[in-house]
């Protein structure tokens, strides 16, 4: 029996047709969080910075534990060095999340520049393709966004990361709801022709 058959059988595995309501509710919640993130981009950006700092500290601790449990001094020394760097960087981010937010904005500008140049170079190498224009436009948009962010820097650091995260969450939420609506069984979409009369 194939996996597709098992997933669609009632009572066995996960079936999107049976769980579409849960997915739709989850998508609506994610979309709502995205709207809130867009409405309060500075809070969202600082939250992202704090989350990254916490992850760096936790990752450093894990590397430190692994260094003392691993065999071989050569590997352990590298693990200890990585653990120290991660913990120090995490503590620095947690101590000054606004500074980390500025750094993240610079990283975002750099990513947009590199991605825009790469897409323009790709478009130049596909002269006969129908998607050449779309790829070129995407590259130009990336470069324009990078220029706008850099022109307003450091003021853009207050909202750029938070806005990006919010838009991403909003789009993800919409896509989850769309998938859930498309997976509804036919009986949930079309109401019954006749309804029993109440006594």
What does the pLDDT average to over 52-57? 92
* Strand, coil or helix: 155: helix
Rounded (10°) angle between helices 97-124 and 73-95: 110
Q: Tell whether the model's pLDDT for residue 194 goes beyond 70.
A: no
Nearest residue to 85 (alpha-carbon basis) of 49, 60, 55:
60
pTM confidence score: 0.68
Pick the residue with more confidence: 164 or 10?
164
Mean pLDDT of the chain: 81
pLDDT tens readout for residues 112-169: 899 889 988 888 887 777 778 888 888 898 899 899 889 888 888 888 889 888 998 8
For residues 194 and 177, give the distance between their C-alpha atoms in angstroms, rounded to a whole number.
Answer: 29
Q: Tell me, what's the pLDDT at 5?
A: 44
For residues 12 and 101, give the distance between their C-alpha atoms in angstroms, rounded to a whole number.
Answer: 46
Domain boundaries, the chain: 19-184
- Write the DSSP assignment of 76-110 as a string of letters: HHHHHHHHHHHHHHHHHHHH-HHHHHHHHHHHHHH
For residues 38 and 45, give the distance between their C-alpha atoms in angstroms, rounded to a whole number.
Answer: 10
Q: Tell whether the model's pLDDT for residue 57 goes beyond 70.
A: yes
Nearest residue to 54 (alpha-carbon basis) of 108, 102, 100:
100
């Amino acid at each position: 029996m194939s996996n597709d058959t098992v997933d669609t059988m009632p009572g066995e595995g996960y079936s999107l047709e049976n769980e579409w309501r849960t997915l739709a509710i989850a998508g609506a919640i994610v979309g709502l969080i995205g709207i809130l993130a867009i409405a309060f981009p500075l809070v969202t950006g600082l939250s992202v910075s704090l989350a990254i700092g916490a992850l760096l500290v936790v990752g450093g601790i894990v590397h430190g534990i692994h260094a003392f449990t691993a065999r071989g001094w050569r590997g352990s020394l590298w693990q200890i060095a990585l653990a120290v760097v991660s913990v120090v960087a995490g503590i620095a981010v947690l101590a000054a999340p606004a500074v980390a937010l500025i750094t993240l904005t610079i990283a975002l500008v750099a990513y947009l520049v590199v991605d825009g140049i790469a897409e323009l170079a790709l478009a130049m190498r596909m002269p006969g393709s129908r998607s050449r224009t779309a790829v070129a436009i995407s590259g130009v948009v990336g470069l324009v966004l990078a220029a706008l962010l850099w022109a307003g820097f450091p003021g853009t650091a207050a909202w750029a990361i938070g806005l990006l995260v919010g838009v991403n969450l909003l789009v993800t939420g919409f896509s989850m709801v769309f998938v859930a609506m498309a997976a509804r069984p036919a009986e949930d979409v079309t109401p019954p022709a006749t309804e029993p009369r109440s006594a």
